[in-house]
Structure 1
Amino acid sequence: FLLDDEGLIRERELSKIWIFMRFNVSSQSGKNDVLITAALAARQARDRALEEALKNHSMVALYKAVLDHVFLLPLMEMKVNHCTSFRGGQILTQQNLAQPYSFSSEIPLYFGRNLISLEITPIGETEFKEAFHELPDGELLTFFSQALSAYSCIDSGTGVCGTKAFIERALMSSDTAIIERIVDAETGEKHFRSERRIGMADCDVSKGTAISEAGSRGVVIDLGGNLFL
């Protein structure tokens, strides 16, 4: 345990939680397959939602293929929205499809501050083109791109990382819903915290907005709840 001035109390509380968890687990009979059940339920719910919304076999197949692929979704998010989750950014970095870059902000309130962005590499551009250039119907890719443009970014609880243009645009518009989620593309450390944003306007964290390349306004999808705030 990490002890501080309240370390003894903290340790006792954790001990109570541990005893409670052990009691509840031991009281269950049979196989503990809760994680298996949750994983299967999530996949079935996703596929059912796609089928009900799209009602087109080709589009459903495309969506499933992209969502199941190891890096296509975060790569497309970077191409369309200039932003992806920190986890998605890590996948792209590991595949050399995107790389972190250091830059100094040119926005007056943050002028000269060093930030880390995520930029698509030439390899990433090539992979994107090769993944979609053989699609029999170009409208499928257009439709999927429009779906991506409906939101600005998805925060799964570890924050988001974006291009220099995306970060600077959020700073210029004082978009707190996005600013508070921007993390260092290398370490995952938050660039901005509430107490550092003196003089910035508040907004609904669940509905922050940003302008994508397509010019549409989207929402911030918060899948992390209070884990990240």
Structure 2
Amino acid sequence: METKRYFVELSYNGTDFHGWQMQPNGITVQECLDKALSTYFRQEIVSLGCGRTDTGVHATQFYAHIDLVNVTHKQIANATTGLNALLPYSIAVHRIFEVATDAHARFDATAREYKYHLHFQKDPFKLDRSWLYKGELDVEKMNQAAQLLLQYTDFSCFSKSNTQTFTNNCKISHAMFELQPNGIIFTIKADRFLRNMVRAIMGTLVMVGRGDIEVQEVSKIVESKNRGNAGQSVPACGLYLVAVEYPYI
């Protein structure tokens, strides 16, 4: 029997899911994907994702790797159509392609990019896809504070406790707010992210934007390495994983 490894590229609306990773208390993206994969390829398949998005978080680009035994070229060629027919409308598979047998969707990723969407005026078409913020924000000061993050690597202050990670070090390469006609979009890119990190960063920068803290206080928060000093996590509905980079893709 010949076993080959494949990457599955997909996207999903996370509103109806309890995050990516399989769990006993709610339906997850991984559960739906694995069921569709196992049905289509007629073998038991357990996927491994490039990360773990929380309940309600979306992904416009997400990768998972799987191992398949004795599949045909025709099965792979028709896999996108076949899998999408089995998946709910909130999950879409874009392609499936062979990679090296030791390729790893999570550990091989060299960078990840998230976007957080916030809007100011009620909009039914942004329901569960963006955070409705009722108030004014100083986006210029928020951008000044965001740039301070690029000076640090230890982001313990933005991490959930007891996450079983070996290190809280991350290298942020980009953090920027952009004004939109009805809101703002925050884009942040790093080599890796901690659990809840982006939502905690966003909550802290919102504190700057509404004048609760000064720009330079963000440096003190990061240096404290204390989650209790950072802002509250913003709602999951506005968060999107939008890009995952690999040296061989």
Superposed pair shares fold, TM > 0.5: no
Query: TM (normalized to structure 1)?
Result: 0.26
Query: TM (normalized to structure 2)?
Result: 0.24
More strand per residue = 2
| Higher RCO structure, 1 or 2 (CA under 8 Å, sep 6+) | 2
More helix per residue = 1
